[in-house]
Structure formats: C-alpha cells, structure tokens
C-alpha cells in the first residue's frame, strides 16, 4: 500500500478505536467539536504566520483528526462517511477546473477565479446571490475580503486603483463629517472606511489580514520594549509619564 494511504488508514483505524473505547471521544458530537475545530484552525494560522513548518505539520495533523472525526460521526448517523467526503471534494475540483479537465481556455489566474465563482453560482442549491456562499460567522475582515473577491469574480469592480484610493479619501471625509456632528452613523462610516481600505489592498495585491498582523506584531514588540526599559529604570509602565513613554517608543522604533 502507498505510504500516504497507509498513514491515512492508520488514522481512520485509530479514530474507530477511540470512538469505541474512549469515554471522551464517545461523548463528542459535531456541535461539541465545532469550537475546538475553530481553535485548531487559528493555531494552524499562527504557525503559518510564524513560518514554523514543524508546527504547521503538527497543526495540520490536529486539523486532519477533526475532519476524520466529523466523518466518523457522519457515518454513525448513516449520513456520509470519509469516502463520501473525499469523493465529493474530488468531483467538485474536477467540475470547477474545466480548463484542466474540460475544453475551457483561460489566460490567467483572474479568469480561473472568475470561472470558479460562476460555476459555484450555477451549482447554487437555491442560492441566487453571488454572495450567498460567504459564511455568516466569518470574522468581519475576512468576510469583507471574500465579499469583494466574489463581486470581482462577476465583473463588479473598479477599473483603476486611483479610483479606489479616491474612494478611501471620500469615505474619510464622510467619517470626519459624522464625527464632527456626533452622528449616530459614525460606526457605519467607520466601517465604510475599513471596507474601502480592504478593497484597496486587493489592488496592491496585499492581504489586509496579513498586513494588520504584521503591524500587531510590530506594536507588541515595541510595547514590550517599553515595558523592559521601564523595569530597568525601576518603574512600571503604568507609572510612566506620556513623555517618558514617547521617548521609549521612539527608541524602540529606532532599534
């Protein structure tokens, strides 16, 4: 047997045994596993951001275990098993890659994505909206990225990046006006600014989630440097004056 198939079969066999003999594993349902799966997904994301391939390997294993677990529960309900799951995704990949498995011709990645979204819309299952497949529980920034990708896939997009930046400036002016008037629409206008910035990131071929995470890490590093400097001076950071904090912050930036 191929080594990959052997390893996968080993995991399936272990899952069968755990489900039969382990009190904790027997008790689990799809609902009880859901929040744990979300946690595992974020742990994988952390490992990818850190560039730690050893951790990526481990976290992929944890996530694979969860996928097998769901399939096992599905088989117990006579709904589906792991074979159904794998066949389903294989059929989907073949159907959504007509430029590989059919006669469709594409010239670049943009056309591949556009075809993908059109095929998904036709698959439908009663969903008549291009945006119907965006999960409601996605974090807001990731949801905005997916919304914009899907809209772009059917041709609803800006034709030049300068127009997108002009939109950011327009939204900023609207936010300033609402703040000045102390309006109840401040949060709405603030959201518009964020949405337009995320849109601009696409034109720069940046992932705004990754860009923000880099800034988060940079801020944490500089703030922790301030804390270290305060301790070395025999102080705690909450007792520093704003001027002292600014001095340490500028020192952290220079390093």
Cβ 179 vs Cβ 185: under 8 Å: no
Residues 20 and 63 in one domain: yes
* H runs (alpha helix) in the chain: 3-21, 23-27, 30-50, 53-76, 82-95, 98-101, 109-123, 140-153, 161-180, 186-203, 208-232, 242-254
Q: State how far the Cα of 146 lies from the Cα of 136, in Å rounded to an integer.
A: 11
Residues 214 and 204 in one domain: no
> Which of the listed residues 62, 79, 96 is the one where a domain comes to its end?
79
Confidence of residue 18 (pLDDT cuts 50, 70, 90): very high
Q: What is the structure's pLDDT at 119?
A: 84
Task: Tell me if 50 is assigned to some domain.
Answer: yes
Task: Tell me if 89 is assigned to some domain.
Answer: no
Cβ 59 vs Cβ 37: under 8 Å: no
Task: Tell me if 61 is assigned to some domain.
Answer: yes
- Least confident residue range of 20-29, 49-58, 93-102, 235-244: 235-244
pLDDT digits (tens, 9 = 90+) for 108-155: 988 888 888 788 777 766 556 778 778 888 889 989 999 998 888 778
> Which of the listed residues 64, 79, 94 is the one where a domain comes to its end?
79
The proportion of the chain whose per-residue pLDDT surpasses 70, expressed as a percent, equals: 98
CATH number of the domain residue 42 falls in: 1.10.287.1080
Total structural domains within the chain: 3
pLDDT, mean over the chain: 91
221-234: string of b/e by CB count within 10 Å (b at 16+)? ebeebbeebbeeee
- Compute the half-sphere exposure of residue 164: CA atoms within 13 Å on the CB side of its CA: 17
Residue with more model confidence, 88 or 117: 88
Residues 199 and 156 in one domain: yes
Give the range of the structural domain holding residue 240, as residue numbers without chain letter.
210-254
pLDDT digits (tens, 9 = 90+) for 41-52: 999 988 998 899
């Amino acid at each position: 047997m191929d080594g990959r198939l052997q390893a996968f079969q080993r995991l399936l066999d272990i899952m069968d045994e755990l489900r039969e003999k382990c009190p904790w594993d027997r008790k689990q349902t799809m609902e009880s596993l859901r929040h744990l799966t979300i946690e595992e997904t974020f742990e994988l994301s952390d490992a990818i951001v850190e560039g730690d391939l050893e951790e990526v390997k481990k976290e992929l294993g944890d996530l694979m275990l969860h996928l097998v677990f769901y399939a096992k529960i599905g088989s117990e309900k006579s709904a589906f098993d792991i074979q159904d799951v794998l066949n389903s995704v294989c059929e989907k990949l073949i159907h959504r890659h007509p430029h590989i498995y059919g006669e469709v011709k594409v010239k670049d990645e943009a056309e591949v994505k556009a075809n993908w979204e059109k095929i998904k819309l036709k698959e439908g299952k009663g969903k008549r909206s291009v945006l119907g497949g965006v999960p409601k529980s996605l974090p807001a920034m990731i949801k905005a990225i997916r919304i914009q990708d899907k809209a772009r896939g059917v041709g609803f997009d800006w034709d030049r990046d300068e127009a997108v930046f002009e939109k950011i400036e327009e939204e900023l002016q609207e936010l300033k006006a609402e703040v000045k008037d102390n309006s109840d629409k401040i949060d709405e206008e603030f959201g518009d600014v964020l949405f337009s910035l995320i849109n601009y990131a696409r034109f720069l071929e940046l992932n705004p989630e990754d860009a923000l995470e880099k800034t988060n890490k940079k801020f944490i590093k500089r703030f922790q440097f301030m804390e270290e400097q305060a301790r070395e001076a025999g102080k705690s950071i909450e007792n520093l004056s704003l001027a002292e904090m600014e001095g340490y912050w500028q020192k952290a930036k220079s390093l």
